[in-house]
Amino acid sequence: MENFKTSADVLFILLGAIMILAMHAGFAFLELGTVRKKNQINALVKILCDFSVSTLAYFFIGYGIAYGVNFLAGAETLVQKSGYELTKFFFLLTFAAAIPAIVSGGIAERARFGPQLAATFLLVGFVYPFFEGIAWNQAFGIQAALKASFGEEFHDFAGSVVVHAVGGWIGLAAVILLGARRGRYHKDGGISAHPPSSIPFLALGAWILIVGWFGFNAGSALEANGTAALAFVNTWLATAMAATSWMLAEWMVKGKPSMLGAASGAVSGLVAITPAAGFVGVIGALAIGLAAGVICLWGVNGLKKLLGADDSLDVFGVHGVGGILGALLTGVFAAPSLGGTGIYDYVANKVADNYDIMGQVVIQATAVGVTLVWSGTVAFVCYKIVDIVVGLRVAEDEEREGLDITSHGESAYHN
């Protein structure tokens, strides 16, 4: 990530960061609307405090691992840092803080508050920065190894694998470790329905995410330029197509379209277009959105049943599956022959003459595989350490009464 060229670019990036901050309100309302009423305060407190802990973990540890910058080194102060460095830090901080917001939805309604915050500090401070450094800072030699082996690097424009697929995979690891919510699965094989407590709040959360996501994707152009405009347009086209394809597929299968389905489809489109937003043409964005709506619908239904995981907000089916799908399709639709931008050759200072679709897909798949195996394994170890030391799961009586009262002493509603 290079320095931004003008003051207008700095302002553009800072505005993008503010839009991403608003996404956390979207995550909060999505979780609030999905969980049962007895756990709504817990959802709101988790998102806010996860963001706060993530900020500290990234400031003190994570940013240094990814970019080799220590804000506290020697006598140097933040005031002495360049505006570019501070802008980059603030923008990337908002990406790091999205990881625990994604994970929070997977383990909703049964995680102890304090231990979850401890796990958040470990994940944002020590796990996430490695993937960020690999994708965006040429760190740890992974990109160099891919280029030496396959002739090209892994590409993730705005972090669908780095943030969303990793977040979904970490969430799945935590869900497996914590187990299902009590009363969710019956001995006879039946499943208790836990319908969303507030569809309007859920819809509000989805809309806030949609608006904030433009800062996520367009801001990753790092300049107020044509690439940013392309990312804006691609983000909306893919989101609209994914919401439509999910709705139509659900309508065909279940007989009725739902608000929950439309919102989930929109988020799946946002996730899937994120790695491709600045690399593909508008037809590629529509194709990615179409695939995301259908495949992520399967992810939250068929795949979820196969895994047997009680993923409360379907974070793996949407963020995990959508992130992987988007990364692979980036390799396809970035091809100039399909309307994409191709891969820029910074040595020759031009777009590379030849684009090998299959070769790039192999590179994308290799990087995704390494990233997911590593993130899932290390995340499971982090959660297991916290579980052994202090315990991650709330007591049965507390879970049945609800986390709002037992963990926070508050109730979302009063007569």
User: Which pLDDT band, with edges at 50, 70 and 90, does 344 fall under?
Assistant: low
Residue 134 has pLDDT above 70, yes or no: yes
The reported pLDDT for the residue numbered 80 is 62
* pLDDT single digits (tens) 45-95: 999 999 999 999 999 999 999 988 877 765 555 656 677 888 889 999 999
Per residue in 395-406, pLDDT (tens digit) is 999 999 999 999
Per residue in 250-309, pLDDT (tens digit) is 999 999 999 999 999 999 999 999 999 999 999 999 999 999 999 999 999 999 889 888
Residue 105 has a pLDDT of 94
Smallest Cα–Cα separation from 22: which of 207, 268, 271?
207
SS (H, E, C) 271-318: HHHCCCCCCCCHHHHHHHHHHHHHHHHHHHHHHHHHHCCCCCCCHHHH
Whether 215 has a pLDDT exceeding 90, the answer reads: yes
Please report, for residues 18, 49, 142, 217, 341, the alpha-carbon distance to residue 227 in angstroms, rounded to integers and kept in the order given: 20, 34, 26, 10, 10
pLDDT > 70? residue 27: yes
Decide the pairing of beta strands 344-345 and 350-351: antiparallel
- pLDDT at 155 > cutoff 80: yes
Between these two residues, 190 and 8, which has the higher pLDDT value? Answer: 8
- The least confident of 63-72, 330-339, 353-362 is 63-72
Query: Does the structure show a pLDDT above 70 at 324?
Result: yes
Q: Is the pLDDT of residue 4 over 80?
A: no
Q: How many angstroms separate the CA atoms of 218 and 224, rounded?
A: 9
How much is the average pLDDT of 332-348?
Answer: 82
Between 108 and 185, the higher pLDDT residue: 108
Per-residue confidence (pLDDT) for residue 202, from 0 to 100: 96
Q: Pick the most confident of 2-11, 189-198, 361-370.
A: 361-370
Q: Are 36 and 402 in contact (CB under 8 A)?
A: yes
Residues in the chain: 415
Please list the residues that pair with 350 across neighbouring strands.
Answer: 345
**CA distance readout (Å), 338 to 98, 121, 281, 315, 352:** 32, 42, 8, 31, 15
Amino acid 203: pLDDT: 96
Q: What are phi and psi of 346, to 5 degrees?
A: -75, -20
Per-residue pLDDT for 345 more than 70?
A: no
- Longest Cα–Cα distance of the chain, Å, equals 69
The secondary structure element, H or E, covering residue 212 is helix 199-219
d(Cα 348, Cα 50) in Å, to the nearest integer? Answer: 43
Q: Can you give the pTM of this predicted structure?
A: 0.94
Joined together, the tokens standing for residue 103 give 């994970």
Q: Is the pLDDT of residue 189 over 60?
A: no
Residue 3: per-residue pLDDT: 53
- Give the residue with greater pLDDT, 410 vs 354: 410
> Cα–chain-centroid distance for residue 122?
17
Nearest to 325 by CA among 361, 350, 351: 361
Band (pLDDT 50/70/90 cuts) for residue 1 is very low
Could you give all domains of the chain from N- to C-terminal order, each with its CATH number?
7-70+81-408 (1.10.3430.10)
Q: What contacts 234, CB < 8 A, 6 or more positions away?
A: 217, 273, 276, 277, 278, 280, 282, 284, 285
